Amino acid sequence: MIRLIISALFLVFSLSLFADERVYQRKSISSPAFVWISDKHLDSRQFLPDQTLLGKNLEQQLLLQRFDHNVLPDAVLNPLRDALENTDSVNADEISDLFEGFVVNDILDILNDQTTQKERSLELKNNNRRVTLAETKGKIDSLTKDELETLMNSAYFFFPYITQTSQNISQYGENARVKVSVQGGVLWYRIVSDGNGQKGIEQIAHTKSMATGTTSVTMPEVKNLLDLVLKTDEPRIKRYKRLNSETLSKEVFQDAFFKAFNNWALNLTVQVKNISDFKLRTPIKDAIGSKYTIDLTKKDGLKTDDSFYLMHYVEENGQEKQKKVGYGRVNKISKVEGQFSTFSQVLGKNQLAGGWIEEHAKSGLSVEVGFGSLNNLNLGKDAFLITIPNPTNPFQTVSRQLLDSDSKSGTSFKFRLNQNLAPFTDISQFFIFFDTGVTTLKAESSSEVIGSPVLLHFFGGVSKKFWLKSRSIGVQSGIGGNQLSFNGRVSGSKYDYSVNTVALMYGLRFEQQLNSNWSVYIQSNLFTRLGPSSTTLSINDEEVSTEGVSEDNIDINGTEFIFGIKYDLNSFNMGGLVSFFDFM
């Protein structure tokens, strides 16, 4: 029975045919209908998600439009599942070994069985099967032995697994947060032939990922009997129900788990696109300067701003080799069959038709680090005149000047996260960003003062870039806040001075692409205050009045100039975070 199932399975695989290596050929891929998840590393209070449901969720992301998918039969997988369940400790390498021992070897025995091969060949001949290849490669009415070998080399299968999940619960007052981490991967295999009719199966990739998901919970207030009896109007300390492993509900845990799982699958999807066998490729149809038309559409899974290398054949030492000669992005996608999409070259010399493009998949997330200056501030020293207890007579007060000079500028350090929204909006080079930074102010503290003022920045917004080959001009706007923090000690007293403003940010940016992932930029930002500032002053942990502080002497918004570097992330694991929204 197993032989018949496997034979039927790989008859379906024969719908893919290798042809022009410049053109991506659809791949027939088989996998289990589930994601295997280990219960060896689960806390006894965690809830084990349904493996079949996980398999359906994974299919939605991992099984791209470029694949034809089939399900591996349970009869082949059951021995593997039994072996995994009976293993004391499970890790990625052990899963790989068990999969090859229990599944790969069984499939090979069936594929290399002479009777099975003869029956399969006769069935293909007798059925006079027509094979359509991505709807563009023509039809064939019969298969020779060599063609059958080629077809079998186009067969792939994968095995997804999760080896570990963990949870972390944090609570501050009524606000509780559940964070779940998921760790696992996917084994990828390909059927090959030795040229003599014998089949082999080789592992072409072992993609691994770790991701997190969070869910927020508002906990109810707890009132004891004394509170209800006294019914006092006096302020009291509120108490809230504690969230822990015992009180955590299945629904809350699974909500956080599936967020982590989706991020896990998203990261794996980027990795899959960068496996050599699965990269989209297509020849250039027409070339006008740095603009090229390509025969890939939305049906192929193409999205706005997808990145590709521009490829050409070159001769080296008398041999013809493939070489990367440029890099660019897709900026217009055809949604109608028969029309072409547009690819814009960013790096490299312009090419004539005859070359091709090859996928260079990215996550859409980029990180930036920059340094620069913040100017046109107005921090008058008179605003930093404070009154403290007299160190020699506690019944008297004295005035102390925190700054000896006005501050007009400072040195800034910036960190930014960008998420490309083009795949979702079809607007090329359109981003959402989150900005944070710190500015050390150029100000002379008084001789008795320990401490120096710093500015903190937190902004979010959107940006749009306009490219001319490898250079771009960008515009951006955002909203956020600037916070002045000045704390330390003076004449034995502790002080904490802070000024907060809500502000708009407008920016202009010039960027130079260096290679497919790295670029440098110069950016100018203008901060405009929205409404009055909020000023607080504490002396020895007691808040005091700032009535005499004039806003004319405190303006922490100015003009910023930043020089920095940017890196576009492919797939990655940064503490389990794989999406921009995990940082929010």
| Stretch 92-114: mean pLDDT | 74
Q: Any residues with CB less than 8 A from the CB of 467 and at least 6 apart, and which?
A: 344, 346, 429
Separation CA 343–CA 326 (nearest Å): 12
Q: Which of 206-215, 234-243, 473-482, 564-573 has the lowest mean pLDDT?
A: 234-243
More confident residue, 5 or 506: 506
Q: Residue 124 pLDDT more than 60?
A: no
Q: Any residues with CB less than 8 A from the CB of 45 and at least 6 apart, and which?
A: 245, 246, 248
Split at pLDDT 50, 70, 90, the class of 121 is low
Identify the pLDDT of residue 565.
97
Q: Residue 237 pLDDT more than 70?
A: no
State how far Cα 244 lies from the chain centre: 29
Six-digit token pair at 2? 């197993």
Split at pLDDT 50, 70, 90, the class of 224 is low
- What residue ranges do the domains of the chain occupy? 2-273, 280-359, 365-568
Split at pLDDT 50, 70, 90, the class of 432 is very high
Q: Which of 288-297, 545-554, 559-568 has the lowest mean pLDDT?
A: 545-554
- What is the SS3 assignment for 223? coil
Identify the pLDDT of residue 27.
83
Identify the pLDDT of residue 309.
95
Separation CA 493–CA 394 (nearest Å): 11
Identify the pLDDT of residue 197.
63
Q: Residue 441 pLDDT more than 70?
A: yes
β-bridge mates for residue 471, sequence order? 468, 512
- pLDDT, one tens digit per residue, over 239-293 is 767 776 667 777 888 888 888 898 899 889 999 999 999 999 999 988 888 899 9
More confident residue, 562 or 403: 562
Cβ atoms of 454 and 440 closer than 8 Å: yes
Rounded to two decimals, the pTM is 0.78
Identify the pLDDT of residue 5.
46
Cβ atoms of 363 and 572 closer than 8 Å: yes
Identify the pLDDT of residue 553.
67
Q: Residue 120 pLDDT more than 50?
A: no
Split at pLDDT 50, 70, 90, the class of 413 is very high
Cβ atoms of 345 and 356 closer than 8 Å: no
Identify the pLDDT of residue 314.
83
Which class would CATH give 280-359? Answer: mainly beta
HEC string of 451-503?
CCCEEEEEEEEEEEEEEECCEEEEEEEEEEEEEEEEEEEECCEEEEEEEEEEE
Cβ atoms of 87 and 38 closer than 8 Å: no
High-pLDDT (> 90) share of the chain, %: 25
Identify the pLDDT of residue 229.
53
- pLDDT, one tens digit per residue, over 185-202 is 999 988 877 666 667 788
Identify the pLDDT of residue 304.
93
Torsion angles phi and psi, residue 476, rounded to 5: -150, 155
* Element containing residue 32 per DSSP (H, E): none
Within the chain, what is the greatest distance between any pair of CA atoms? 109
Say how many residues make up the chain.
Answer: 584
CATH fold match for the domains 280-359 and 365-568: no
Q: 365-568 in CATH: which number? A: 2.40.160.20
Identify the pLDDT of residue 450.
76
- pLDDT, one tens digit per residue, over 485-544 is 887 777 777 878 888 889 999 999 999 999 999 999 999 999 988 877 777 777 787 777
- pLDDT, one tens digit per residue, over 313-344 is 888 887 888 889 999 999 988 877 678 899 99
More confident residue, 447 or 59: 59
Torsion angles phi and psi, residue 59, rounded to 5: -55, -35
Q: Residue 148 pLDDT more than 70?
A: no
| Average pLDDT of the residues of the chain | 78
